[in-house]
């Protein structure tokens, strides 16, 4: 048969076959979308790939890595709230954005109603270490957290302690619980502080990854004194240390000895971050704590300990892994050490006075 004839005679059947193929292709691609598990796997795989881009040195993850502010844009219900005005900035007295476009969180810059809607169904883990005598700080820490920390959201307090029997029983609001994790102690207080990174890293893989969406790591010798909510949540956040937020980088107390893995040269540095309040998605906190722990292992082998312990390593990490939100000093303050400037409208998480020699002794 001539080719032209074949095409002429069979054109209708060919057209039919092509249409049938297109229809069945469309049907099957939809069928896969209808299977929830299939979709879920697709989403987590693509988010994982997105997150891991350019981060080959980071430890691999077994879980999906999707959080409200990164991979998926959360749907919010109809809400009534004051409209933002493009020509009326919410604050003109403080920096609201880092040069890499991470918001700096100050009072008056966000609307909790919108954020609470975006972060509904989020579970937040708050890790707090209370080793040796530091258990005395737990009661006030937990009582004030119940009043101010992530109110209305699901919270798990992870209390890492060597003295489980001394953990006080505090009445908790609905959706909130305490998990006590028994850990070893160290003789030197510096070692207790340093090893927090290792323990958070280990527990992240063992359980945090499966139990919560975000992790917040906090000092225990502090109390919450005003709202601390989902406005802080992001893939990775650090807090401006109250003693250095207005300083030049040369004055930051970074580790300055090149022998240490925490070394930062004089001509680098964005901010000086506080060791006492940082966090992010579990995956990012896992990466951060693992990297800091590994750096400390190398330091130890080289016979050096960074000047401000794990805080120095945190600062090094956050210099080369820019946080996606930065918390203002509203989120870590010390009323005894510092005079409150007028632009600091709220003090949300503040130091509790302590007798260093007494509390740090065995």
Contact footprint for ligand UD2 (CB under 6 A): 129-132, 134, 189, 192-193, 219-221, 274-276, 308-311, 332, 360
Could you say whether residue 310 binds Mn ion (CB under 5 A)? no
Q: Are 260 and 297 in contact (CB under 8 A)?
A: no
Q: Tell me whether residue 96 or residue 136 sits nearer to ligand UD2 (CB atom).
A: 136
Structure tokens at 39: 């979709």
Q: Of residues 174, 311, 330, 335, which has the active-site annotation?
A: 311
Binding residue count for Mn ion, defined by CB under 5 A: 2
Closest C-alpha to 284, from 95, 121, 59: 59
Distance of alpha carbon 97 from alpha carbon 14, whole angstroms? 60
Q: Tell me whether residue 61 or residue 274 sits nearer to ligand UD2 (CB atom).
A: 274
- Write each residue from 35 to 64 as x if it is in contact with Mn ion (CB under 5 A), else as -, in one continuous string: ------------------------------
198 binds, among ligand UD2, Mn ion, none (CB under 5 to 8 A by kind): none
Stretch that binds Mn ion, among 2-10, 146-154, 187-195, 216-224 (CB under 5 A): 216-224
132 binds, among ligand UD2, Mn ion, none (CB under 5 to 8 A by kind): ligand UD2
Least separation in angstroms between residue 81's CB and ligand UD2 is 33
Q: Are 319 and 253 in contact (CB under 8 A)?
A: no
Least separation in angstroms between residue 327's CB and ligand UD2 is 12
**Half-sphere exposure (CA, 13 Å, Cβ side) for 346?**
16
Structure tokens at 87: 């020509």
Q: Which residue is nearest to ligand UD2 (CB)?
A: 275
Closest C-alpha to 213, from 196, 230, 238, 195: 230
Q: Tell me whether residue 66 or residue 264 sits nearer to ligand UD2 (CB atom).
A: 264
Site for Mn ion in 217-236 (CB under 5 A): 219, 221
Establish whether 255 is a catalytic residue. Answer: no
245 binds, among Mn ion, ligand UD2, none (CB under 5 to 8 A by kind): none
Distance of alpha carbon 296 from alpha carbon 306, whole angstroms? 8
Least separation in angstroms between residue 352's CB and Mn ion is 9
360 binds, among Mn ion, ligand UD2, none (CB under 5 to 8 A by kind): ligand UD2
Q: Are 268 and 285 in contact (CB under 8 A)?
A: no
Of all residues in the chain, what percent are helix, strand and coil, respectively (each to 5)?
A: 40, 15, 45
Q: Tell me whether residue 47 or residue 288 sits nearer to ligand UD2 (CB atom).
A: 288
Q: Tell me whether residue 215 or residue 350 sits nearer to Mn ion (CB atom).
A: 350
Q: Is 13 helix (H, G, I), strand (E, B) or coil?
A: helix
Question: Distance between the two ends of the chain, CA-based, in angstroms?
Answer: 99
Least separation in angstroms between residue 186's CB and ligand UD2 is 8
Q: Tell me whether residue 103 or residue 243 sits nearer to ligand UD2 (CB atom).
A: 243
192 binds, among Mn ion, ligand UD2, none (CB under 5 to 8 A by kind): ligand UD2
Least separation in angstroms between residue 65's CB and ligand UD2 is 26
Burial 340-355 (b: 16+ CB within 10 A, else e): eeeebbbbbbbbbeee
Residues 6+ apart with CB under 8 A from 155: 123, 124, 125, 126, 145, 149, 175, 176, 177
DSSP string, 181-232: EE----SSHHHHHHHHHHHHHHHIIIIIHHH-SEEEEE-SSEEE-S-B-GGG
275 binds, among ligand UD2, Mn ion, none (CB under 5 to 8 A by kind): ligand UD2
Q: Tell me whether residue 13 or residue 358 sits nearer to ligand UD2 (CB atom).
A: 358
Least separation in angstroms between residue 267's CB and ligand UD2 is 24
Give just the sign of the alpha carbon dihedral 336, 339, 344, 346.
Answer: positive
Binding site for Mn ion (CB under 5 A): 219, 221
Write out the catalytic residue numbers.
311
């Amino acid at each position: 048969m001539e080719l032209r004839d074949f095409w002429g005679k069979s054109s209708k059947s060919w057209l039919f076959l092509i249409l049938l193929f297109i229809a069945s292709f469309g049907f099957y691609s939809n069928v896969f979308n209808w299977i929830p598990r299939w979709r879920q796997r697709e989403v987590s795989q693509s988010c994982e790939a997105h997150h891991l881009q350019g981060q080959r040195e980071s430890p691999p993850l077994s879980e999906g890595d999707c959080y409200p502010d990164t991979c998926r844009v959360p749907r919010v219900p109809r809400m009534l709230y004051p409209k933002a005005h493009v020509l009326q900035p919410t604050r003109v007295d403080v920096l609201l954005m880092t040069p890499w476009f991470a918001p700096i969180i100050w009072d008056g810059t966000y609307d909790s109603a919108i954020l609470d809607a975006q972060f509904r169904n989020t579970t937040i883990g708050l890790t707090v270490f209370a080793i040796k005598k530091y258990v005395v700080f737990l009661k006030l820490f937990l009582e004030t957290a119940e009043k101010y920390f992530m109110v209305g959201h699901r919270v798990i307090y992870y209390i890492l302690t060597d003295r489980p029997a001394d953990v006080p029983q505090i009445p908790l609001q609905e959706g909130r619980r305490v998990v006590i994790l028994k850990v070893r102690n160290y003789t030197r207080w510096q070692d207790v502080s340093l090893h927090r990174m290792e323990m958070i890293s280990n527990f992240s893989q063992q359980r945090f990854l499966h139990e919560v969406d975000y992790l917040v790591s906090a000092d225990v010798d502090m109390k919450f004194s005003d709202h601390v909510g989902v406005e802080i949540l992001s893939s990775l956040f650090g807090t401006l240390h109250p003693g250095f937020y207005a300083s030049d980088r040369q004055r930051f107390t970074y580790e300055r000895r090149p022998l240490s893995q925490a070394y930062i040269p004089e001509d680098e540095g964005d901010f000086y971050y506080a060791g006492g309040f940082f966090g992010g998605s579990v995956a990012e906190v896992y990466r951060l704590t693992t990297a800091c722990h590994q750096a400390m292992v190398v330091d130890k082998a080289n016979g050096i300990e960074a000047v401000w312990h794990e805080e120095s390593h945190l600062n090094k990490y956050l210099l080369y892994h820019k946080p996606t939100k930065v918390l203002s000093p509203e989120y870590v303050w010390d009323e005894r050490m510092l005079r409150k400037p007028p632009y600091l409208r709220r003090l949300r998480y503040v130091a509790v006075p302590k007798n260093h020699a007494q509390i740090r002794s065995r």
